[in-house]
Amino acid sequence: MASNTEENYLKALFQITIESGSKIEAGTNEIAAHLGVKPATVNDMLKKLKAKKLIQYEKYGKSSLTKSGKKIAIEVVRKHRLWETFLFQKLAFSWDEVHVVAEQLEHIQSKKLIDKLDAFLDYPAFDPHGDTIPNAKGELAITVKKTLLEEKIGHQCKMIGVKDNSAAFLQYVNKLGLSINQTIKVISRQPFDDLIEIEVNKKINSISPKFAENIIIECKECMIK
Amino acid sequence: MASNTEENYLKALFQITIESGSKIEAGTNEIAAHLGVKPATVNDMLKKLKAKKLIQYEKYGKSSLTKSGKKIAIEVVRKHRLWETFLFQKLAFSWDEVHVVAEQLEHIQSKKLIDKLDAFLDYPAFDPHGDTIPNAKGELAITVKKTLLEEKIGHQCKMIGVKDNSAAFLQYVNKLGLSINQTIKVISRQPFDDLIEIEVNKKINSISPKFAENIIIECKECMIK
DNA sequence: TAATTTTGTTAGACAAATCTAACATATATA
DNA sequence: TATATATGTTAGATTTGTCTAACAAAATTA
């Protein structure tokens, strides 16, 4: 069984690599900065985690999770986010207070506890920060933030913000039926003038690339494990 | 701030001494047996806790809690019993499963969490084992188990069991209106024949010392802190 | 390519909590 | 009271997780 500290290293590695969606390995200094410890300390732990076959690591190289390391990391993330949801929904903690307490609660060892908590909260999909919660099987939908311009044709996504805050732009946003949390589907792209067809609330509209570039969306990237 | 381990030693000392209602100090071996560690380990910790002014202790002597040590111990007991109540009432854990998980949860450091949990559970007075839960001020009603013969005149207590299991005795118990959880008040004691007058459900009856000796009761001993 | 900077490693130290084995003191018993 | 038993202490070792300071390798830049 992994110690609290080991769990924290595995979680850090998971968040830096897999969940970031942007890289597959992490450097020693990077992990140290993420955890607020010294690189020397991380180095010792990397050797230990390698010996336990929880990470892949070679001297002077970068680190990544093995299958069993990833499993533990996802369990910790699941516990963290379920506890955050509990604190927020049931105990009326505010959005910004839940994290520090969940940092402690995530290390409580009891499979039964966490599965019962999951049921008590009615199997939530998102924590109070909007991050996805892994299910009991350890499956986790990874979402990535980007602009609507970058979304692929045929994909669905969720609007989570705007880049431009001018009145003109926001009025246009409104007119198209767009708002925070609104689901958007990209239908097509015209080769001739680059206009993008989107579907919002079953209505189809065309928007310019310039407009699309100012809509921040979140889309499901992949399913982990 | 006390470490998890220090908290466990303080809690053990509290339970052995103050909460037991029977003694005011604990020996090194006794503490070791209670915690499942070796006396040598306890000895080291006693020195440390003394240095932190959390206990009173002299070489080759017995140990007891100081005011600040007691405060911490009661907070840990409060957390333990509130978490047990949460697991039992909200997550449908069974009576005998709650303890081991609460042993972990009792060390979570967040005053806000425990006070909100208390409110969420509607300020319970007892945990699933029937033990009293200290309130937010650190006050705790201590109950002591003894026989009805030992109860003082004028005091109220609660029947929690019997010593004799013969049919004759149990029928007599029934006839007097006694049962588990029944409140009993000791009215008087006759100097002439030692008979004891008790009040049960507003009816007064006389019982013999032999009878009283076979009724196990729980009574509020005092209010701690 | 050579020098500099960034990144990673090693060695040695420390604190916390535990152990075992040997020793010391206190209490009980013959 | 002398011995035996129970209780408590000490010294030295171990594990875990951390540090600092010195060193080594890799990457970047002039």
Predicted confidence (pLDDT) at residue B21 exceeds the cutoff of 80? no
Give Cβ neighbours of residue A137 (< 8 Å, ≥ 6 apart): A225
In this structure, is the CB of residue A48 within 7 Å of any atom belonging to strand D?
Answer: yes
Predicted confidence (pLDDT) at residue B165 exceeds the cutoff of 90? no
Of B85, B105, B138, which residue constitutes the final position of a domain?
B138
Predicted confidence (pLDDT) at residue B210 exceeds the cutoff of 90? yes
In this complex, the residue of A101, A112, A120 whose CB is nearest that of residue B90 is A120
Instruction: Say if residue A132 is in the same domain as residue A155.
Output: no
Q: Which is nearest to A177 in space by CA: A203, A157, A158? A: A203
Predicted confidence (pLDDT) at residue B221 exceeds the cutoff of 80? no
Higher pLDDT among residues B224 and A135, named by residue: A135
Q: How many CB atoms lie within 10 A of CB A61?
A: 12
Instruction: Say if residue B48 is in the same domain as residue B74.
Output: no
Instruction: Say if residue B39 is in the same domain as residue B82.
Output: no
The region, left, alpha or beta by phi > 0 then psi within -120 to 50, assigned to residue B99 is alpha
Instruction: Say if residue A201 is in the same domain as residue A152.
Output: yes
Average pLDDT of A92-110? 95
Distance, in Å, from the CA atom of B143 to the CA atom of B134, rounded to the nearest integer, reads 12
Instruction: Say if residue A61 is in the same domain as residue A78.
Output: no
Average pLDDT of B196-203? 95
State pLDDT tens for residues A30-68. Answer: 999 999 999 999 999 999 999 999 999 999 999 999 999
- The nearest CA of chain A is from the CA of B6 a distance in Å of 18
Q: Residue A200: helix, strand or coil by DSSP?
A: strand
The region, left, alpha or beta by phi > 0 then psi within -120 to 50, assigned to residue A113 is alpha
Instruction: Say if residue A218 is in the same domain as residue A153.
Output: yes
- Which chain B residue has its CA at the smallest distance from A90's CA? B120
Q: Quick one: pLDDT at residue A183?
A: 92
State pLDDT tens for residues A116-125. Answer: 999 999 999 8
Predicted confidence (pLDDT) at residue A223 exceeds the cutoff of 90? no
Higher pLDDT among residues B21 and A40, named by residue: A40
Instruction: Say if residue A55 is in the same domain as residue A95.
Output: no
Order of strands, sheet of A156-162, starting from the edge strand that comes earlier in the sequence: A140-147, A215-224, A156-162, A183-189, A196-200, A203-207
Full residue range of the structural domain in which residue B90 is found: 70-138
Q: Separation of CA A35 and C1' D18 in angstroms?
A: 13
CA angle at residue A122 from B127 to B121, to 5 degrees?
A: 25
In this structure, is the CB of residue B47 within 7 Å of any atom belonging to strand C?
Answer: no
Q: Which is nearest to A74 in space by CA: A42, A113, A46, A114? A: A114
A117/B93 CB distance under 8 A = no
A120/B93 CB distance under 8 A = no
Predicted confidence (pLDDT) at residue B222 exceeds the cutoff of 90? no
Contacting residues of A for B96, CB less than 8 Å apart: none
Residues in chain A: 225
Predicted confidence (pLDDT) at residue A213 exceeds the cutoff of 80? yes
Instruction: Say if residue B213 is in the same domain as residue B174.
Output: yes
- The nearest CA of chain A is from the CA of B147 a distance in Å of 39
HSE, side-chain direction, 13 A CA sphere, residue A124:
26
Do β-strands A156-162 and A215-224 pair in parallel, antiparallel, or remain unpaired?
A: antiparallel
- Which chain A residue has its CA at the smallest distance from B101's CA? A110
Instruction: Say if residue A177 is in the same domain as residue A197.
Output: yes
Q: Quick one: pLDDT at residue B20?
A: 85
- Which chain A residue has its CA at the smallest distance from B116's CA? A91
Average pLDDT of A136-154? 90
HSE, side-chain direction, 13 A CA sphere, residue B41:
12
Higher pLDDT among residues A181 and A169, named by residue: A169
How high does pLDDT run on average in chain A?
94
The H or E element spanning position B186 is strand B183-189
Which of A98, A101, A107 to mutate against chain B (most B CBs within 10 Å)?
A101
Contacting residues of B for A87, CB less than 8 Å apart: 113
- The nearest CA of chain B is from the CA of A136 a distance in Å of 16
Number of domains in chain A: 3
Instruction: Say if residue B10 is in the same domain as residue B59.
Output: yes
Predicted confidence (pLDDT) at residue B206 exceeds the cutoff of 90? yes
Distance, in Å, from the CA atom of A86 to the CA atom of B117, rounded to the nearest integer, reads 11
How high does pLDDT run on average in chain B?
94
Average pLDDT of B10-34? 94
Of B18, B48, B65, which residue constitutes the final position of a domain?
B65
Q: Residue A121: helix, strand or coil by DSSP?
A: coil
Q: Quick one: pLDDT at residue A160?
A: 85
Q: Quick one: pLDDT at residue B147?
A: 93
Predicted confidence (pLDDT) at residue B159 exceeds the cutoff of 80? yes
Through-space distance between the first and last CA atoms of chain B, rounded to whole angstroms? 21
Contacting residues of A for B101, CB less than 8 Å apart: 108, 110, 112-113
Q: Which is nearest to B148 in space by CA: B185, B192, B203? A: B185
Contacting residues of B for A113, CB less than 8 Å apart: 87, 91, 101
Predicted confidence (pLDDT) at residue A196 exceeds the cutoff of 80? yes
Instruction: Say if residue B77 is in the same domain as residue B56.
Output: no
Of B20, B35, B65, which residue constitutes the final position of a domain?
B65
Q: Quick one: pLDDT at residue B90?
A: 98
Predicted confidence (pLDDT) at residue B130 exceeds the cutoff of 80? no
Supply the CATH number for residue A128's domain. Answer: 1.10.10.10
State pLDDT tens for residues B31-65. Answer: 999 999 999 999 999 999 999 999 999 999 999 99
Instruction: Say if residue A74 is in the same domain as residue A128.
Output: yes
Nucleotides of C under 7 A from a protein CB: 7-12, 16-22, 25-26
Q: Quick one: pLDDT at residue A130?
A: 78
Q: Residue A155: helix, strand or coil by DSSP?
A: coil
Contact yes or no for B91/A120 (Cβ under 8 A): yes
User: Partners of A206 in the beta sheet?
Assistant: A197
State pLDDT tens for residues B66-124. Answer: 999 999 999 999 999 999 999 999 999 998 899 999 999 999 999 999 999 999 999 99
Contacting residues of B for A104, CB less than 8 Å apart: 108-110
C-alpha separations of B21 from A48, B62, B136 in Å: 48, 17, 22
Q: Quick one: pLDDT at residue B24?
A: 93
Q: Quick one: pLDDT at residue A211?
A: 95
Supply the CATH number for residue B182's domain. Answer: 2.30.30.90
Q: Separation of CA A171 and C1' D16 in angstroms?
A: 59
Which nucleotide is closest to the Cα of A62 by its C1'? C8
What are the counts of helices (DSSP H) followed by strands (DSSP E) for chain B?
8, 8
Distance, in Å, from the CA atom of B206 to the CA atom of B105, rounded to the nearest integer, reads 48
The H or E element spanning position A113 is helix A111-120
Residues 14-43 of B, Cβ under 7 A from nucleic strand D: 27-30, 39-40, 43
